Structure 1
Amino acid sequence: MAKVHPNSTASSSEARRKKAEAPPSSSPESGGEAAVLTVWRKSLLFNCSGFTVFDDKGNLFFRVDNYSSGKRAEVVLMDAAGRPLLSIRRKRLSLSEQWLVYEGEDSTAPLFSVKKPFGFLQPRALARVAPIGGRFCGYEVEGSFSRRSCAVYDGRRRRVAEITRKESAGGVGFGGDVFRLVVLPGLDSAVAMAIVILLDQMFPS
């Protein structure tokens, strides 16, 4: 198999670790560049499911470790050191598929909600992200997650992130378990990864 994680034992930079300690924010970063992440639909822990995410230098960036398979009531997105960044919880007693996303391991004040729209009303729409409390912008996800071909748009219809297939240096595809997440300035990479996690919950392969 082609190499997915060239520096899997290395953590991301000190700057990223400091940023992870601050509350996630979706505000644009001045002079920022697109973050190109490799998402591996696999946990590095034995007998766990989840995600392992690397930056463009091959350093561990995000991780998700779940001890149960299938749809879960709660998923925690962590940084490279294992610190919780966002907690994703399915909304109880909801007629539609809807999740609430909290900062860290908080369970009282959600930052935003993510809802799966009814397909016959908007066939291209995969998910809708709605702010709670004014800290985040609203976003809409369109495309096909099963094909790893999606885009995230803000309220002005500007593309702020995209999911694409990843190929090895030799041009060999990795399949659906390894793909690329490109996050443009204006969207926090943790929020973008939370959207990926929820797409995986909504459209399991």
Structure 2
Amino acid sequence: MNKIKVHPNVAAASLAVSAAEEKGEAVSLTVWRRSLLFNGKGFTVFDTNGNLVFRVETYSRGSPREVVLMDAHGLALLTVRRKKLSLAEEWLVYDGDGDEPAPRRFTARRNRSLLRTKSLARLSPPRSLDGTGDAPGCRYDVEGSYAGRSLDMFACTSWASGGNQRRRVATVCRKEAAVGLDVFRLIVEPDFEPALAMAMVILLDQMNAS
């Protein structure tokens, strides 16, 4: 396997991602399915210059119930937590480290349909305060094959008038065959949050491990 050179230049990575977003360009990230610090489970994400952007450190041997996505400084950005005592396979996505009163951003459900479908998971906004339905906002669908490192992430917006919009916001694809499946590319479209796209990757990894 080819060696992967990662240079934890925090400032340079932040500037590179911000510059691409300001120019309205897609952000291309390389995801390494391994902890940078402990040479174990987790994720290391870097930009096209090899600078560290995101990281995930996992300490449990099995599939953890909670995973925290951090920036290169170690600051918690998003927390993915498997919901306890749920009949359906559900995960909750919180801002920050997930401690109270951290706002919940999404509930993610794995698609278990017996019908042949490309859909793997759906992220929905929290329920409205009266519990009658989803709060206004975008939901996200993930389609493709995580095992094959081929994913499309779509933002889906519906309006009370009946109209709806669906657009691709991020893509996962394999890099060179020589590096195997533990290194792949995450391409985030303009005007979409790279951290949220990476959280979706974490979700699919957790769902496939459960």
Offset of residue 122 of structure 1: 5.8
1:70 and 2:62 correspond: yes
- Structure 1, residues 99-152: CA drift from partner, whole Å, max 9, x if none? 111111233421111110223146211110111275852110000110011100
**Could you say if the C-alpha distance between residues 145 and 15 of structure 1 is closer, same or farther in structure 2, counting changes exceeding 3 Å?**
closer
Q: For structure 1, which segment, 181-190 or 34-43, has the greater mean C-alpha deviation from structure 2 after superposition? A: 181-190
| Cα contact 2:106–2:124 (8 A) shared by 1 | yes
1:71-90 equivalences under 5 Å are: 71-90=63-82
Which structure has the greater CA radius of gyration?
Answer: 2
Corresponding residue of 1:145: 146
Number of residue pairs aligned between Structure 1 and Structure 2: 191
Q: Structure 1 length normalisation: TM-score?
A: 0.84
What is the percentage of aligned positions where both structures have the same residue? Answer: 50
Corresponding residue of 1:162: 171
Q: Structure 2 length normalisation: TM-score?
A: 0.82
Partner SS state of residue 209, structure 2: coil
Corresponding residue of 2:106: 112
Offset of residue 154 of structure 1: 1.2
1:10 and 2:2 correspond: no
After TM superposition, where is structure 1 displaced by more than 6 Å over at least 4 residues in a row? Answer: none
Could you tell me which runs of 5 or more consecutive residues in structure 1 were left unpaired when the two chains were aligned. 20-28
Q: Which structure is richer in relative contact order (CA contacts within 8 A, separation 6 or more)?
A: 1
Could you tell me which runs of 5 or more consecutive residues in structure 2 were left unpaired when the two chains were aligned. 129-134, 157-164
1:180 and 2:185 correspond: yes
Using the alignment, how far apart are the partners of 2:151 and 2:98 within structure 1? Answer: 29
- Greater helix content: 2
Partner SS state of residue 8, structure 1: coil
**Could you say if the C-alpha distance between residues 128 and 122 of structure 1 is closer, same or farther in structure 2, counting changes exceeding 3 Å?**
farther
Using the alignment, how far apart are the partners of 1:39 and 1:149 within structure 2? Answer: 13
Partner SS state of residue 44, structure 2: strand
